Amino acid sequence: MNLGIFFQQMPDADETWAQMLLSGLNYTLTVALFAWLLAFFAGSIVGVIRTTDRRWLVRLGNAYVELFRNIPLLVQFFIWYFVLPGVLPSVKHWVVSLDPTEHQLVTAILCLGFYTSARIAEQVKSGILALPRGQRLAGYALGLTQAQTYRYVLLPMAYRIIIPPLTSDTMSLIKNTSVAYSIGLVELFFRTREMGEITFRYFEAFAAATLIYIVISMIANRVMVLIESRVAVPGYVSLGK
Amino acid sequence: MGDLDFEVIQRAGPYLWKGLQYTLQLTAVAAVGGIFFGTLLALARLSSAKLLAKTAAGYVNLMRATPLLLVIFWFYFLVPVLLQMITGADAPPRIGAERSAYFTFIMFEAAFFCEIMRAGIQSIPKGQVGAAYALGLNYWQVMKLVVLPQAFRNMLPVLLTQTIILFQDVSLVSLLNVTDFVGASVKIAQRDSRIVELYCFVAIVYFVCCLSLSWAVKRLQSRIAIIR
């Protein structure tokens, strides 16, 4: 074990190995952040339509969730990265105009975003269904439209209920960014392997990466707990304190 | 896109089938081994020996906080070294990624099965444990005869759902150049330049398998719910 390796210069570059790992972390966090936003947005829409009374919307939402949940993430990466441009000429046209790293970044965000959205949709749905039926009816009785009932009555409570499962989905998302290595995105795991292969310091490289992943997962966890206690409605959801 | 050739799948059929067999085998072994060690871990986590409980909890949390891909590579490097230490051989034995994957997935999934079994064990009313001790059974008898059979039964749907997730996660070994189902199709896809056909085929096979399995689990769940 030799920690000095992290402060040594890389061959043919001005960076140290530590800086290279951190540049990988930068991509990891970028992908995680944008994929989370996409997943939250898409997951909320799909989760909501699965609780409406329109049969076809419910079916559509169910199909969406099953589609993204029953194909391994790695295969989904291949589909987004190789198959989509291969099948749709317009996508191919656009992809060719991109820088390869940009293409990988966009692919990773879309793939992880939609993959995670299916999980978030499941949580949003169960959050809404966990609310007493009377809340929806009370909303309608006040003269709110269905959209308003969701916006002002159901969703604010449902989101608060699902923060704990949402936290574990967020942590999974951060871990899953490592699969973007398969399409060659230079994220943290890619950089870790690269460092191991060039320096033969596999142990140091992997230990550093493991530590970084654990720390960012823990930070994400803390942030979610903080949000949970900030937005808690007094007297409604007990925080177990 | 008019020049898709799905016959390539038929031609590569035996090779893909061999890959799928490896995937299924790895899934089955990892599920059985993972449930076994996961149950032991759960018992350790719930034990009154503080050190044992803390160690088990630390292991489970470490596995759950680390990306599977990293764990796969960790074990790939470490298993030969560990085997060398155990057997006292002169050089680390070359076991290859294919065989180290069995070890990886058993140890990794044990952490997830542990959490499921822990919930299952805790779902058994305390009075039953007390009653069993009052009958004069010892710890292992209480667990084996009273608690674990019910815990397994209550958690069966969750254990199976986790196994479906495991079945999907196994695909990641292809990144270590292992010829599992995904690995086999990547190789054929690259050799024959039939990427679209093969990746679509893989996605469809996984989709059909996982969807029908999860429907079966849902069915099972409702049947268990009626009996209880």
For residue A58, pLDDT beyond 80: yes
Q: Locate the chain A residue with the closest alpha carbon to B73.
A: A206
Please state the ipTM of this predicted complex: 0.85
Q: Which of B199, B208, B213 should be substituted to probe chain A, the one whose Cβ sees the most A Cβ atoms within 10 Å?
A: B199
Decide if B202 touches A, using CB distance below 8 A: yes
Chain B residues touching A74 at Cβ < 8 A: 171-172, 174-175, 182
Pick from B71, B141, B149: nearest CA to B117: B149
B164–chain A nearest CA distance, Å: 9
Lowest mean pLDDT among A5-14, A115-124, A226-235: A5-14
CA-based nearest residue to B60, from B100, B115, B17: B115
Q: Which of B60, B162, B171 to probe the A interface (max A CBs under 10 A)?
A: B171
Q: How far apart are CA A26 and CA A32, in angstroms?
A: 10
Cβ-proximal residues to A42 (8 Å cutoff; 6+ apart), any chain = A113, A114, A117, A120, A121
Question: Cβ contact (<8 Å) for A75 and B171?
Answer: yes
Q: Any chain B CB within 8 A of the CB of A189?
A: yes
By the 10 Å C-beta count (0-12 exposed, 13-18 middle, 19+ buried), A28 is classed as buried
The residue among B21 and A16 whose pLDDT is bigger is: B21
Q: Chain B residues with CB inside 8 Å of A87's CB? A: 1, 196
Percent of chain A past pLDDT 90, that is, above it, reads 37
Mean pLDDT score of chain B: 86
Contact A213 B66 (CB under 8 A): yes
Hey, where are the domains in chain A? 27-187
- φ, ψ of residue A135 to 5 degrees: the values are -65, -45
Size of chain A, expressed as the number of residues it contains = 241
If pLDDT is split at 50, 70 and 90, which confidence band does A52 have? confident
Q: Does A173 reach chain B within 8 Å, measured CB to CB?
A: no
A78 touches chain B (CB under 8 A): yes
pLDDT above 90 for A116? yes
Substitution target in B68, B168, B193, B201 with the highest count of A β-carbons within 10 Å is B168
Cβ within 8 Å, pair A75-B200: no
Per-residue model confidence (pLDDT) at position A237: 55
Distance from CA of B204 to the nearest CA of A (A): 8
Domains of chain B: 7-227 (1.10.3720.10)
CB A214 within 8 A of CB A205: no
HSE of B16, CA atoms in CB hemisphere, 13 A: 17
Do A79 and B169 lie within an 8 Å CB cutoff?
A: no
The answer to whether the CB of B70 falls within 8 A of the CB of A178 is yes
Q: B124 CB near a chain A CB, below 8 Å? A: no
**pLDDT confidence band for A240 (50 / 70 / 90):** very low
Residue of higher predicted confidence among B27 and A101:
B27
Please give the CATH topology (third level) of the domain spanning A27-187: MetI-like fold (1.10.3720)
| A179 interaction partners in chain B (CB closer than 8 Å) | 69, 172
Q: Any chain A CB within 8 A of the CB of B17?
A: no
Percent of chain B's residues with pLDDT above 90? 25
Amino acid type, B206: Y
Residues A63-83: b if buried by 16+ CB within 10 A, e if exposed: ebbbebbbbbbbbbbbbbbbb
**Structure tokens that stand for A143 in this block:** 């003269």
Let me know: does B154 contact B123? Beta carbons within 8 Å: yes
Residue A175's nearest CA partner among B110, B66, B115 is B66
Higher pLDDT, B36 or A201: B36
* Amino acid identity at A125: K
Give A148-186 as a DSSP string.
HIIIIIIHHHHHHHTHHHHHHHHHHHHHHGGGGGGGT--
pLDDT one-digit tens code per residue, B177-208: 888 898 888 888 788 778 888 888 899 999 99
Give the whole-angstrom CA distance, residue B159 versus residue B141: 23
What is chain A's mean pLDDT, rounded?
86
Rounded CA-CA distance B86/B153 in Å is: 37
Give yes or no for A83 touching B (CB within 8 A).
yes
Task: Kindly report the nearest CA distance between residue B138 and chain A, in angstroms.
Answer: 34
Q: In degrees rounded to 5, what are phi and psi of residue B54?
A: -65, -45
- Give the residue among A166, A167, A170, A205 at the shortest CA–CA distance from A188: A205
pLDDT in tens, B44-96: 988 888 898 899 888 988 888 889 989 988 888 887 777 777 877 777 777 77
Which residues in chain B touch residue A177, judged by CB atoms under 8 angstroms apart? 67
Which residues in chain A have Cβ-Cβ distances shorter than 8 Å to B73?
193, 206
Integer Cα distance of A24 and A193 in angstroms: 11
Please check whether residue A102 is in contact with residue A34, taking contact to mean a CB–CB distance below 8 angstroms.
no
User: CA-CA distance, A123 to A121, in Å (whole number)?
Assistant: 5
> What is the C-alpha to C-alpha distance for residues A64 and A44, in angstroms, rounded to an integer?
13
Highest mean pLDDT among A51-55, A176-180, B83-87, B98-102: A176-180
Check if the beta carbon of residue B197 is closer than 8 Å to that of residue B187. Answer: no
Contact state of A214 with B67 under an 8 Å Cβ cutoff: no
Q: What are the chain B neighbours of A202 within 8 Å (beta carbons)?
A: 77
Q: Do A178 and B203 touch (CB under 8 A)?
A: no
Contacts of B220-224 with CB under 8 Å at 24 or more apart are B220/B156, B220/B157, B220/B160, B221/B157, B224/B153, B224/B154, B224/B156, B224/B157
Q: Which of A5-9, A40-44, A98-102, A232-236 has the highest mean pLDDT?
A: A40-44
A/B interface, count of CB pairs below 8 Å: 93
